[in-house]
Structure 1
Amino acid sequence: MGEIAERYRRRAEAFERKVAAVRPEQWDNQSPCEKWTAKDVVDHIVMMHGFMLMPVARKLEPANDPLTAFQEARAAVEDVLDDPVLALTETDTPSGRLTTEQHIDQVVSDDLVLHGWDLARATGQDETMDPVDLEALWASTTAIPADVMEKFRTPGAFGEGVEVFGAEVKVPPDAPLQDRLLGLIGRQP
């Protein structure tokens, strides 16, 4: 198993545990994403998994509940990551030409950590991000050029209704790294 596949599996397992821990009455809880409930967070993650599968002619079937939907999306992505031909298929993305596994790594794998925090916050679960993931996400997010970051903060820049990051929330420079990352992507730590 390659590094990208291993990282995805570890992050997907953590996200799945959070989804499984949501009580039925919590699905309508407001998430830190202004327009989303807890269920919307999971729906977004599943939808993004579906987008990652499109370049390799795979698609997800609708599921009846958030946990099953995520488990099926996760299994489909893991199948792609386990297939060297599919994993290394190149496609044009908003970030340039990438292999399917690189695109999965940069989009849904990172989203599992960030939206895992959103889901945890919405449902009263442990919000602590894995320190390894936190360091990696801080490094990659702070390396985004200012013009690209501005595009990420512009609603609709990647399609109608798509918002990557919100407006930066100022946090003290000596705040914990997780708080600084959350503020940078537009979350109120």
Structure 2
Amino acid sequence: MSATTMSATTTPGTADRYARLADAFLARVRATPTDRWDAGSPCQGWTARDVVAHVINGHRGILAAIHGTPPSPAHGVAVSPMAEAPAVEPGADLAAAFLACRADVLAALRDPALAARPLPGGPLGPVPLEQAVDVIGALELLGHTWDLARATGGDEILDQDAVARTHQALLPLHAELLDTGAFDASVPAPDGADAQTAFLCFIGRRP
């Protein structure tokens, strides 16, 4: 089987998995009460608004690396280094900002050439876009979906299949993730912890 055929075969699965996690995140964004955007989140020093802006900014950074063009502010959300949370203008439409990024990432994942294009650096090294999205992208969306829900009183239940798959993929990468400075040290999971609790403890959350 040629490399092109393999990419064309594997990309739809990655795209579908990404879409489910992105849609779950978007649902929490849309469900956030107006008076909860300034609520503190499990991410130290970040509000609920900061969490969403960070996810948007991370998407833009990935797209910029794939397309070779610098990210641009849009929908009232500025640009910052990928590990940070960019400034957000008053009245910014965070759902629209995320939807735009979601659409662009899906388009890239469904393009065999772009899906196979390696991203530079990161804890996985220079791996194809689809692999980075399937592991680190899933980590970001799962973790920050929970962060946003916890901050705003939303639905904290995550996609259990994605939780288990992502946790397993991340286990051998723990040291590399810590080295990025964007990943908190793990905390011990309680005895008998379910898959979601074990995953959240692994990524440094305290469910």
How high is the TM-score relative to the length of structure 1? 0.86
Aligned 8 A contact 2:164 2:199 in 1: no
Measured in 1, the distance between the counterparts of 2:113 and 2:176 equals 32
Measured in 1, the distance between the counterparts of 2:30 and 2:39 equals 15
* Secondary structure, counterpart of 1:91 in structure 2: coil
1:99 to 125, 128, 131: 128
Measured in 1, the distance between the counterparts of 2:110 and 2:73 equals 20
2:23 to 13, 22, 25: 13
Aligned 8 A contact 1:91 1:98 in 2: yes
2:74 to 62, 71, 83: 62
| Structure 1 partner of 2:177 | 152
What displacement does 1:99 show? 1.2
| Structure 2 partner of 1:34 | 44
Aligned 8 A contact 2:160 2:195 in 1: no
Residue correspondence of structure 1 range 157-176 to structure 2 within 5 A:
157-158=179-180, 163-176=181-194
Consecutive unaligned residues of structure 1, counting only runs of 5 or more, are: none
| Structure 1 partner of 2:200 | 182
Measured in 2, the distance between the counterparts of 1:141 and 1:173 equals 21
The verdict on how the C-alpha distance between 1:170 and 1:109 changes in structure 2, with shifts beyond 3 A counting, is closer
1:141 aligns with 2:159: no
Once the two structures are overlaid, the 10-residue window that deviates more, 34-43 or 132-141, is 132-141
1:76 aligns with 2:104: yes
Residue correspondence of structure 1 range 113-132 to structure 2 within 5 A:
113-132=142-161
Consecutive unaligned residues of structure 2, counting only runs of 5 or more, are: 1-10, 76-91
Indicate the percent of aligned positions where both proteins have the same amino acid: 35
What displacement does 1:41 show? 0.7
Measured in 2, the distance between the counterparts of 1:20 and 1:73 equals 15
Runs of 4+ displaced beyond 6 Å: none
Aligned 8 A contact 2:66 2:117 in 1: yes
What root-mean-square deviation, in Å, do the aligned CA atoms of Structure 1 and Structure 2 show? 1.8
The verdict on how the C-alpha distance between 1:99 and 1:111 changes in structure 2, with shifts beyond 3 A counting, is same
Measured in 2, the distance between the counterparts of 1:104 and 1:51 equals 12
* Aligned pairs, number: 178
Aligned 8 A contact 1:171 1:180 in 2: yes
Aligned 8 A contact 1:38 1:119 in 2: yes
What displacement does 1:60 show? 4.9
The structure with the largest strand share of the pair is 1
